[in-house]
Structure 1
Amino acid sequence: MQFTQRRAVVLSVVGLIAAALPALAQADEAAPDAAERASSGDGLPTITVTARRREEDAQSVPAAISVVGGALLDRSYTVNTSLLSQLVPSLNYSSANPRNTAFTIRGLGSSVVAVSQANDGLEPGVGFYVDQVYHARPATAAFDFTDIEQIEVLRGPQGTLFGKNTTAGAINITTRAPTFIPEAREEISVGENDFLQVKASGSGPITDTLAFRVSGLMTRRDGVIRNVRDGRDLNQIGNQAVRGQLLFTPSSNFSLRVSADYANFESDCCTQVYLRVGQSLRSPSRQYPALAAGQNYTPASTNPYDRVTDIDADLKVDTNEGGVSAIADWNIGGATLTSVTAWRFWNWDAENDRDYTGLPIQMSQHIPSRQDQYSQELRIASNGDGAFSYVGGLYYFRQVITGRPISIYGPLAAYWLIGPTTGANATPVPGNLLDGYGTDGRTRFATDSYAAFGEVNFKPTDRLTLTGGLRYTYEEKEGSYTSTVFGGLQTSSTALNNAKLSVLRPQSYSASDKDGSLSGRANVSWQFTDQVMAYASYARGFKSGGINMSGLPLDNQNNPVLSTAVIRPEKNTTYEVGLKSSLFDNRLVFNLAGYWTEVEDFQATIVDSTQTVALRGYLSNIPKVTVKGIEADATALILPGLTLRASGSYAHGEYTDYPAGPCPLELQGSATTACSLTGQRLSGLPRWAGTLGIDYELPVSESGSLIFHADSSSRSGYYGDPSLSRYTWIKGYNVTNAVVGYRADGWEVDIFARNLFDSDYIQNLTVQAGNSGLILGTPSDPQMFGVTFKAWQ
């Protein structure tokens, strides 16, 4: 993979950091995150979180929280949300490409079906925050992490304090802040498939009141899917990121932290491979085996783990994001005032071979997009831990997304999608009817959101704490969609023109939505002892209505159904009980949570399975979804330097009320246009998931230690498509990663393995557009070994 100019610039910045900053650092500074290694055996370190918008001991917060510290992120080579899900069982991540990124907590959040490169009108249900700034587009979670201090995964509705679109939970990321003590960190990793990752950061004082921090990351890896048609390696990794920060502290009562960051992902990505063929009720001549045989076509391989393809159209991803934020904290004595101001952007462009075969069916699909967002939050939070504490504030958010959906078909599109005849009189369809036929469109989606919130904690006794909070949110949304068609065979035949329009039809519509909502939570916790606390909570979450921004489903006359332009708000009700404990002088931390969640008008991307020509994804409401489950987390300090971790979750999710859902592939082609999925299991949610981890540091000299890290993640099977077709079942799998190395004063060298046992599994799947029955999948990344060198001052 060749470096672009942007990659070269980023890598140069990283190199300058690595070369220049050690001179600023003190040679006797301790290794980073030394406390987390618990090498003294005195107990596990206290973990501080901001789940309630103020710093607290995680074990004192009556809520289900998974915390992954920066040291564990570094040791486990967890550099993005996809890898984070291997450490947090209740977090599920799916990404056919960066735009089609979806993450859920307890099976709830955003559901994305990779047929139309996502829908900009669908808001996520899991909030993604970096340094207190909300990121509105899930696609930004596909970028690599940069210089992270800690990640908190907050499970369950967080609408009271985190607000916008956190009905399922929130991912709260905190980056490392500037320091007034000089420090520098450098890291380089090399591995199989030309894997190269470089990370560097440095911090120090500029004046007595002004400090800086600068960090950078570059990751590249050759593709793991070989295109046998041209010999190219596809699904590469090409991530770059830089971040600069200033911290101004003119007094002990005031601080201002200003950050600017930029990240880029550019590569020959992302394609899927042949997984299996399903059988429908359509005429055998219109199903994949007959269609492929009619062109003497055989796929490059019918084993997805051969990781080969023969796609014949362009493939490319070029996406970037960045922004500027300012966080001001002012301690006024009994309380702290906080202001968080931010502007962010996201750009996207890609080319795809949407038929995923070596046949020229669909030659191009991409949606160049641009998103800008502005946010302002003002908070006041009480200081101290008295009988009465509070936090409250105001929030404003605006985003505008513009897009240009483009799709172009090829010479075999008519053969594959329509067939040899059409119309009432069986007019023959010329083979070139759709050759060059395409659509070009314009979309715009805008949101204005306003909120006021507050939460109060009251301790009538030293052991009992009562918590109540409310948030009122008012949102205005408007969207417009316009598409035109062009190309293809020019004909005066009504039947042939209707056949073309059944594949792509011009549409033009606009819609708007306004709604206000009240969300909140109530919580009671009881501290049985200083080491054991139990809690029970009720939470009500709300996600505003959405606007379909990928075109509308069609009626029997191929006209858009305007009544589907706006979908209803989503309402989440969750009951949760939990136990938190720190035992044996804090050598064992064990937490347990049980929950029951009901979601009314669950928002999802649904595939219109009644279309026999081209699958279309659009937004819809599912009347009711229920998820209930149990989660457990444990960390134990067994010996000085030896820490074991275990996390597990059981989740039972089902469509409680879904009388008119999409039909599975095996029922398509019949007179039935909708199928009842009531009582069926929720797609995308494994029943069982668990992670085991170990970290061991064994001193072998006065200044050196052997280190070992391993984590093993397992998930049971689940449906990869909302239609619940048996052909879209994804089998359960296990992934194990390991690191062994040597650490001395100021440096470390490691040998690492990703997917140590070379497990084969499917990350996500897609039903091929056209309803042929072909199912595509993204295979797991193969086993990879590598070496890392780290240094710090």
Structure 2
Amino acid sequence: MSLSSFSILLLASASPAALAEESRPAAVEATRPSGETETPSADAEDAQDSNTIVVTARRRSENVQDVPVAISAVDSLTLDSQGTYNISALTKLQPTLQFYSQNPRNTFINIRGIGAPFGLTNDGFEQGVGIYIDDVYYNRIASATLDFVDVDQIVTLRGPQGTLYGKNTTAGAINITTRAPSSDFEGKAEVSLGNLSFKQGKASISGPISDTLAARISVTATDRRGTIYNTRTNSYIQSQDSVGLRSSLLWKPSNGLALTLSGDWNVQDPICCAFQYGGYGPTQRAANRQYPALVAAQQAQYPGLLPTNANPFDRTTDVDAQLRARNEHGGLSLRAVWDIDNNNTLTSITAWRYWDWKPANDRDYTIYPVYTKVENPTRQNQYTQEFRFNHDGQGYDLTVGLFGFHQKIRTSGVQSTGLAASKWLLNPTSALSNNPAVLNNVVAINDIRLDNTSVAAYAKLNWEIVDRFTVSPGIRINYDKKDGLYNSVVTGTASNGTRQVVSADPASPSYSDPWTAAQRGVQASQYYAPQLSAWNLSYDLNLRYEVTDDVNVYATYARSFKTAGLNLNGVPADSTGAAIPLYFTIKPEKVDHFEAGVKTQFWDRRATLNVTGFYTKIKDFQASVSNGQGTTVRGYLANADRVSSKGVEADFAIRPSDRFSAYVSGAYTDAKFDSFCDAPPPPELAGGTTLPGVAGNKCAYVGTPSAPGTPGGSSPPVYDASGAPLPGVSKWAFSWGGEANAPSELFGEEGQFYFGYDASSRSRWSSNPSPSIYTWVRGYALHNFRIGFRTDKFDAFLWARNAFDKDYIDLYLAGTGGNTGLIAAQVGDPQTFGGTIKFNF
């Protein structure tokens, strides 16, 4: 239950509402999605005391301490007070939630180390962590990078979800609820200013239009100067620039019927995103093809032009290509809730969403014009329809649902090389490497398409067999159909000065041209149109026993799956240059999940302690690999044989009085490849002469690899990562904090002075698909403070985040530019500080 209770305990002392309602100082009732009018269950009604929280995570209102699922609930007041205005910052509150973002499209969210293949964007696979806003499923993880708009609550469910939620997910679900239109006029406004020219404004207004119609409109805007200075362009990058708008109409034509029409529009348009120099790690490439030698060789063409950033914490870079990360999404939804009678409710959610991604990147990560343009603009349209029926019976309740999903993605990418490409990408022993014209203006035009349809039926039963003992079985049947296209047409200048298609097919007219042959070693044209369709069955069983009113124990088993996927970024080719069909599709993941926990409250419910143990094993885990063909390493997805994630999560919260609250949450997570003998070699073992494989044995090869980092050495074709940790997950992660307040008066207004402290830490973790000696991110701890004064209508406070200005790395990238040894780094935010003023009316 990670943060469910301690977040609420903390919020009570932070909330202006607590000043006016001391009778329930630690209670914040989770608002139901807009327009939902289901009657709370008996358990929920019994739970309405001063130290409980009611959630609807299982499609019924109930005390969160009774939910036999590991669940975290964070109220809007916690989000606001701690500056958590997107999911990236949410990870500082929830130790088992991992979030990594190279840019909005290249974003990964994992829970307990599983969810999405690390380090690779591919339109053809599914997320393992589902994101829902007001019950609408958001397929594109890019939406997670945008600012929250008028959020009321965020509930994170850990472990497989599918027998209660529209889209099947193997790692968990993040369910975001926005504020519903109100029957009374209300509004709020908030302004924040800080260093780095940080400016943020939020406002919302709501109220009745008639006796049966109410409306709400909300807006948020964030702007911040970049944290990295680009010496090449004399400008700051990694800035923030976002606007969000959300509106909704709630119509209640009768007591039993509520319809909510919602619309939203969100856009980010920062100067972003580039990595910095993070170091050099020798690979197996020839010494004259590694980073130091390549930089020296550029001096013949660009004398005196040397990289200037030797330390990532100098917060400088010198990339020369244009940068852009415009990320826009929006949509409409109609939610209808019909209370047929006191025991039966029918809900319908109809939604359309779009996503528009317009990027520009520098993918050589250097000051030189190696890659002059790397852009993959993408447009998505998504349609969903869900019907859900809830029945409350005597001693049981039942949820039955139908879900339909259709997605259309169109990506029109372009990649081009520049005048520095020949020296950087071609073997220096070739005379062609000294001719900038050979690789200059080699252009790849990519047409990537996906049509994805999914339909499902699910059901969940909660049955109290005997007093205090509840059995909850669930089932889901799912059908998926995917049709894809990958068409990359590469053209370059041949030795006779004409433009030719760069083909890997020996029958191509220009195949033997020396310039075309050199270009083919960098990138060649490729075409294939993969398809798949499949049925899947998943199911789960929850057991809950209420030992006392304040002690619950539970156990869960779930058999789940992640839908099969398509490789839509290019795949290995055969000797004729044709794409190999074996790599077109990725098998579905097959998940067995076990979980047991205890949820307790004691000391008159002033203290809460919850402990969860989990074990998840996955067969055919969808992982990132690379084929090592040519100068540019091509990444794609494949299946690792077996993966597991096991660990323990514990949360403790205490509130001895209305004047003080504290919490601590910790997680131990051991996530690893149990069997993955054909993983991609890490950079220190890649780039050399590849040892021959053994026919019929994907894991065997002939010969002995050279020692790691031996220039000109022998590289294995595969790497046995069995027993190695999964990327992106720390074994240990913690969050802790507290708040103290004292009644006082300021300018004639009665209120509270308060002081809050929150912190998080994590141990080291691997940021390469196969663990590399060069890409272990060191552990770190971050500390945040706030101090202010509040009344029931007004709140003003000063804040400091990363208060001690800790230098830390968000992400390392290795193998850039074809295993040159260059390690690129993404540096975490520096110390930020400022002030916030909020008004309610």
Q: TM-score, normalised by structure 1?
A: 0.93
Q: Is the 8 A contact 1:41 1:639 kept in 2?
A: no
Q: 1:277 aligns with which of 270, 276, 280?
A: 280
SS at match of 1:445: strand
Q: Is the 8 A contact 2:16 2:792 kept in 1?
A: no
Within 5 Å, give how 1:601-612 maps onto structure 2: 601-608=620-627, 610-612=628-630
In 1: Cα distance, 2:57 partner to 2:521 partner:
50
How much does 1:37 deviate? 10
In 2: Cα distance, 1:33 partner to 1:344 partner:
36
Does residue 755 of structure 1 match 2:802?
yes
Does residue 635 of structure 1 match 2:653?
yes
Does residue 156 of structure 1 match 2:159?
yes
Does residue 395 of structure 1 match 2:409?
no
Q: Is the 8 A contact 2:810 2:827 kept in 1?
A: yes
What does residue 623 of structure 1 align with? 641
What does residue 5 of structure 1 align with? none
Deviates more, 1:694-703 or 1:408-417: 694-703
SS at match of 2:144: helix
What does residue 780 of structure 1 align with? 828
Does residue 503 of structure 1 match 2:522?
yes
Does residue 256 of structure 1 match 2:259?
yes
Does residue 697 of structure 1 match 2:741?
yes
In 1: Cα distance, 2:659 partner to 2:117 partner:
41
What does residue 359 of structure 2 align with? 350
What does residue 817 of structure 2 align with? 769
What does residue 34 of structure 2 align with? none
What does residue 681 of structure 1 align with? 725
Aligned AA (2:678): A
What does residue 200 of structure 1 align with? 203
What does residue 21 of structure 1 align with? none
Does residue 486 of structure 1 match 2:491?
yes
Does residue 93 of structure 1 match 2:77?
no
How much does 1:33 deviate? 6.5
In 1: Cα distance, 2:625 partner to 2:361 partner:
21
Cα pair distance change 1:427/1:228, threshold 3 Å: closer
Cα pair distance change 1:703/1:644, threshold 3 Å: same
In 2: Cα distance, 1:233 partner to 1:462 partner:
63
Within 5 Å, give how 1:260-409 maps onto structure 2: 260-296=263-299, 298-333=306-341, 334-383=343-392, 386-409=394-417
How much does 1:428 deviate? 6.5
Q: Is the 8 A contact 2:382 2:406 kept in 1?
A: yes
What does residue 219 of structure 1 align with? 222
Q: Aligned-pair RMSD on alpha carbons?
A: 1.9
In 2: Cα distance, 1:67 partner to 1:780 partner:
26
Q: Is the 8 A contact 2:495 2:513 kept in 1?
A: no
SS at match of 1:520: strand
Aligned AA (1:368): P
What does residue 167 of structure 1 align with? 170
In 1: Cα distance, 2:599 partner to 2:373 partner:
53
In 2: Cα distance, 1:471 partner to 1:146 partner:
32
Unaligned runs of 5+ in 2: 1-12, 28-50, 300-304, 497-509, 689-713
SS at match of 1:97: coil
In 2: Cα distance, 1:724 partner to 1:36 partner:
51
Aligned AA (1:372): N
In 2: Cα distance, 1:371 partner to 1:427 partner:
41
Q: Is the 8 A contact 2:555 2:596 kept in 1?
A: yes
Deviations 1:700-731 (A, max 9, x none): 13612112222101011111011211111111
Does residue 590 of structure 1 match 2:590?
no
Aligned AA (1:443): I
Aligned AA (2:403): Y
Aligned-pair identity (%): 41
Deviations 1:126-153 (A, max 9, x none): 0011000100011111111111111011
What does residue 840 of structure 2 align with? 792
In 2: Cα distance, 1:54 partner to 1:43 partner:
22
Aligned AA (1:747): F
In 1: Cα distance, 2:825 partner to 2:563 partner:
32
Aligned AA (2:428): P
In 2: Cα distance, 1:138 partner to 1:72 partner:
23
Q: Is the 8 A contact 2:170 2:591 kept in 1?
A: yes
What does residue 90 of structure 2 align with? 84
Does residue 239 of structure 1 match 2:248?
no
Cα pair distance change 1:376/1:589, threshold 3 Å: same
What does residue 710 of structure 2 align with? none
SS at match of 2:295: helix
What does residue 124 of structure 2 align with? 121
Q: Is the 8 A contact 1:412 1:432 kept in 2?
A: no
In 2: Cα distance, 1:92 partner to 1:452 partner:
30
Q: TM-score, normalised by structure 2?
A: 0.88
SS at match of 1:613: coil
How much does 1:421 deviate? 3.9
In 1: Cα distance, 2:827 partner to 2:756 partner:
26
Aligned AA (1:34): A
Within 5 Å, give how 1:477-626 maps onto structure 2: 477-491=482-496, 494-555=513-574, 559-608=578-627, 610-626=628-644
What does residue 695 of structure 2 align with? none
Does residue 453 of structure 1 match 2:472?
no
SS at match of 1:415: helix
Deviates more, 1:649-658 or 1:585-594: 585-594
Deviates more, 1:280-289 or 1:233-242: 280-289
In 1: Cα distance, 2:19 partner to 2:53 partner:
9
How much does 1:452 deviate? 0.6
Instruction: Give the length in aligned residue pairs.
Output: 756
SS at match of 1:109: coil
SS at match of 1:654: strand
Deviates more, 1:655-664 or 1:761-770: 761-770
Aligned AA (2:359): A
Deviations 1:109-142 (A, max 9, x none): 012425xxx1111211100110001000111111
Does residue 111 of structure 1 match 2:117?
yes
Q: Is the 8 A contact 2:182 2:216 kept in 1?
A: yes
In 2: Cα distance, 1:180 partner to 1:574 partner:
43
Deviations 1:535-581 (A, max 9, x none): 11101111111011111123466543221011111111100000011
Does residue 667 of structure 1 match 2:685?
yes
SS at match of 1:726: coil
Deviations 1:604-623 (A, max 9, x none): 23233x23510212111111
Within 5 Å, give how 1:2-21 maps onto structure 2: none
Q: Is the 8 A contact 1:473 1:517 kept in 2?
A: yes
In 2: Cα distance, 1:367 partner to 1:611 partner:
22
In 2: Cα distance, 1:259 partner to 1:658 partner:
46
Q: 2:78 aligns with which of 40, 47, 72?
A: 72
Does residue 437 of structure 1 match 2:430?
no
Does residue 474 of structure 1 match 2:479?
yes
SS at match of 2:470: strand
How much does 1:41 deviate? 7.7
What does residue 20 of structure 1 align with? none
Q: Is the 8 A contact 1:257 1:327 kept in 2?
A: yes
Unaligned runs of 5+ in 1: 1-29
In 1: Cα distance, 2:547 partner to 2:735 partner:
29
SS at match of 1:294: helix
Aligned AA (1:554): A
Q: Is the 8 A contact 1:691 1:714 kept in 2?
A: yes
Deviations 1:234-288 (A, max 9, x none): 0110010000011111222111111100100001101110011111122111111
Cα pair distance change 1:503/1:784, threshold 3 Å: same
Aligned AA (1:566): T
In 2: Cα distance, 1:35 partner to 1:656 partner:
50
Aligned AA (1:703): E
How much does 1:368 deviate? 0.9
How much does 1:46 deviate? 2.3
